[in-house]
A and B are shown apart, each in its own frame.
Chain A
Amino acid sequence: MRLRLLTERLTSLWFLCLSVVVMLLTAIVAGALVHRSLPILRRHPLGALLGGSGWHPMQDQFGFLPFIVGTVWVTVLAMAMAVPVCLLSAIYLAEYARSATRAVVRPLLDVLAGIPSVVYGLFGVLLLVPLVSDHIAPWAAKHLSFLPGATPREGYATGYCLLTGAIVLAMMVAPLIISIADEVLRSVPVAMREASLAVGATRWETVKHVSARFAAPGLVAAVVLGFSRAFGETMAVLMVVGNVPMAPRSVFDPAYPLPALIANNYGEMMSIPLYDSALLLAALILMVTVLAFNLLAQGVLVIAKRRAAQ
């Protein structure tokens, strides 16, 4: 009997300890990154680092602007492609599809979400890069020359560019956005949908005026989570985006996102002073941005759940 109680005490205590460790983990990771990026922050003001556009570590010049701009562009472009497609797909799954269809599609989405990023990257290299350089870029040069950001600059039509990175990224975040949006839409009460149908609304009108409105916070959260996932994705983008450290001026320009900067240089930075601190600052910027977005999404989801519970 005493042994049983002792076991009970010990396991409870053990669970508690591990939980506290997990709780502190976020802070530990963030704290370590802050600690290691302090050296560069002491030398240069944060504003100059974030706003500077020259990247010459040998000359003690660390401007993150091109990388930040590259990250933002590739992410925004990817989301612009992914969001409409994902939301429409999720609406179909949640509102139209029969349960037999759902039973097939949901596992496929899980598979899609589980494919490693290097495989996406390789897919991009094998199929999308040639597609963009041989077909899309020449076509855009011919037909879209009136659009400032849509034509390739001379000599840069390699296919390793923003557009390719964004397509790969869009494919990667699609299963995540669809899954969350589908779940959120399924939480719309059936009776509410039927109330709208019963006065003679079509299904699409019901989605537009009732389901989407009711589920709006959750749909926003799905998009925000997709955005933050895309923001930090490294390998797949790195493999197709070109990695030239300058701010892109067209979708056919190469870009150099922050994660790629870290991945490409982290091994060989020991000899240059502050280089390692600069890269950890880059990691910190990534982490802070992503955490901010995730907190936002979590907050919105809490509101959504409260609404659904009403």
Chain B
Amino acid sequence: MKWRLLEEKVFRALMILCLGAVIAGLALIVAVITAKGARSLSWEMLTQVPKGGYYLGKSGGILNAIVGSLALAFGATALACVFAFPVCLYLQRDYAGRSRLASFVRTSLDLLWGVPSIVYGAFGFTVLLYMGMRASLLGGIIALALVELPIMARAMEEAVRMVPQALKEASYAMGGTHWETMRKVVLRQALPGILTAILLAFGRGIGDAASVLFTAGYTDNLPRSLLDPVASLPLAVFFQLGTPFPEVQSRAHACAFILLVIVLVVSVLSRLLGSRVSKYSLR
């Protein structure tokens, strides 16, 4: 009897320890990046593009990477949306029924979800070569959209599936077509979940480095068109950390800090939005 209670206590303590360690890991990451990054962050960094000798430690900023990352992530999220939203509407019983096709689409999305982003990067690059293009904003957007699509579609489908069948039937009963029901009932009811899915994908997209490594290129200039190469924050971290100069390395820390802040803000935003927009949804 004593032994059984002891076992219970030991394992319970062990579990708390493990969960505590995971949470502490999170705190440690945020603390280390903030401590190192905030120190080397300056106004100049946020508002200027790199100037001559920047990578040797001279003055300039990483506005190119900030703008580039935002452009890439916005573009990719928009592109992923164009696919993800219709597809997850299609996966509902109203359109696809219990068809073979729907289950294939689901399996495909599940598989795409697992594909490493470096593979999307390599794939994107071969497509660019095939089309005779070079690394550019457009190429980066395409590769990043591939990374975001399954993440977004999965979360979005979850939200859309939560819409009660009875609610849809109420609309059909009044003579609404599928499309009208989707637009006026499902979209409104599932809006918080859909926005959360979009922000989730945006957050993943802006932090992804491996997919834009070959497809978006890197440049010190701000992008002027879709066909220009662009810089991005994750690659700014990676490249600047690779230089032997401490000044430049500390800028890498600052870039990582900016990236972390963006990701955290997006994450908090998605929670706030989720509760804000749900004004009209039934529970």
B133 to chain A, nearest CB (A): 15
* Docked CA distance A121–B127 (Å): 28
Q: Which residue of chain B is the closest to A284 with respect to CB atoms?
A: B119
**Contact present for A32 and B203 (CB under 8 Å):** no
Taking A19-B91, A112-B26, A262-B122 as contacts, is the C-beta distance between A232 and B115 under 8 angstroms? yes
Q: Which of B1-26 contact A (CB under 8 A)?
A: 4-5, 7-8, 11-12, 14-16, 18-19, 21-23, 25-26
Q: Is the CB of B29 within 8 A of A235?
A: no
Size class of the contact patch on chain B: 35 or more
Q: Interface stretch among B42-50, B55-63, B161-169, B260-268?
A: B260-268
Contacts of A194 in B (CB 8 A): none
Please state if B118 and A232 are interface contacts (CB–CB under 8 Å).
yes
Could you tell me the dominant secondary structure of chain A's interface residues? Answer: helix
Asked if A85 is an interface residue, CB under 8 A from chain B, the answer is yes
Tell me whether A272 is interfacial, beta carbon within 8 Å: no
What is the bound-complex CA distance between A34 and B28, given in angstroms?
Answer: 42
**CB atoms of A118 and B115 under 8 A apart:** no
Q: B residues within 8 A CB of A266?
A: 121-122, 125, 213-214
Q: Which of B184-192, B220-228, B251-259, B275-283 contacts A (4 or more CB under 8 A)?
A: B251-259
Q: Which chain A residue lies CB-closest to B94? A: A12
By beta carbon, the residue of chain A nearest B177 is: A8
Q: Which of A273-290 contact B (CB under 8 A)?
A: 279-280, 283, 286-287, 290
The stretch of A38-46, A145-153, A202-210, A248-256 in contact with B is A202-210
Q: Decide if B259 touches A119 in the complex (CB within 8 Å).
A: yes
Contact A25-B108, Cβ < 8 Å, known A111-B267, A118-B209, A205-B4: yes
CB distance from A88 to the nearest CB of B (A): 4
B15 contacts A26, CB within 8 Å? no
Residue pair A7, B177 in contact (C-beta under 8 Å) = yes
A263–B210 CB distance below 8 A: yes
* Chain A 119-141 near chain B by CB (<8 Å), digits 1 or 0: 11111011100000000000000
Chain A residues with Cβ under 8 A from B123's Cβ?
A: 29, 32-33, 283
Contact between chains at A29 and B120 (CB < 8 Å): yes
Whole-angstrom CA separation of A175 from B77 in the bound complex = 23
Q: Report B199 CB to chain A, min CB distance, Å.
A: 10
Query: Which chain B residues lie closer than 8 Å to A286 at the CB level?
Result: 116, 118-119
Instruction: Annotate A12-52 by CB proximity to B: 1 below 8 A, 0 otherwise.
Output: 10111011111111100100110010000000000000000
Name the B residues within 8 Å of A89 (CB-CB).
Answer: 15, 18-19, 22
Query: How near does chain A come to B180, taking the closest CB pair, in angstroms?
Result: 7
The residue in chain A whose Cβ has the minimal distance to the Cβ of B37 is: A122
Contact B116 A290 (CB under 8 A): yes
Known: A18-B83, A112-B26, A263-B213. A126 touches B36 (CB 8 A): yes
Judge whether B15 and A267 touch: CB under 8 Å: no
**Most chain B beta carbons < 10 A, residue from A91, A115, A171:** A115
Q: Do residues A225 and B180 form an inter-chain contact, with CB atoms below 8 A? A: no
Smallest distance from the beta carbon of A24 to chain B beta carbons, Å? 8
Of A56-64, A102-110, A154-162, the stretch lying at the interface with chain B is: A102-110
Q: Is the CB of B115 within 8 A of A7?
A: no
Taking each of A122, A231, A263, which has the highest tally of chain B beta carbons within 10 Å of its own beta carbon? A122
A-B contact pairs, 28 of them (CB 8 A): A4-B180, A5-B177, A8-B177, A12-B179, A18-B86, A22-B87, A22-B105, A22-B112, A23-B101, A33-B122, A85-B22, A88-B15, A92-B19, A111-B267, A114-B207, A116-B206, A116-B208, A116-B234, A118-B209, A119-B207, A121-B237, A231-B116, A234-B116, A263-B118, A266-B122, A280-B122, A287-B115, A290-B119
Seen from chain B, the residues whose Cβ lies within 8 Å of a Cβ on chain A are: 4-5, 7-8, 11-12, 14-16, 18-19, 21-23, 25-26, 28-29, 32-33, 36, 83, 86-87, 89-91, 95-96, 101-102, 104-105, 107-123, 125-127, 146, 149, 153, 177-180, 182, 200, 203-204, 206-210, 213-214, 234, 237-238, 241, 252-253, 256, 259-260, 263-264, 266-267, 271
Additional 8 contacts, C-beta under 8 A, given A5-B177, A19-B90, A118-B259: A11-B179, A22-B153, A115-B29, A125-B241, A229-B114, A235-B209, A239-B241, A293-B114
Nearest 7 pairs of A and B residues by beta carbon: A232-B116, A116-B207, A92-B15, A15-B90, A294-B114, A89-B19, A234-B210
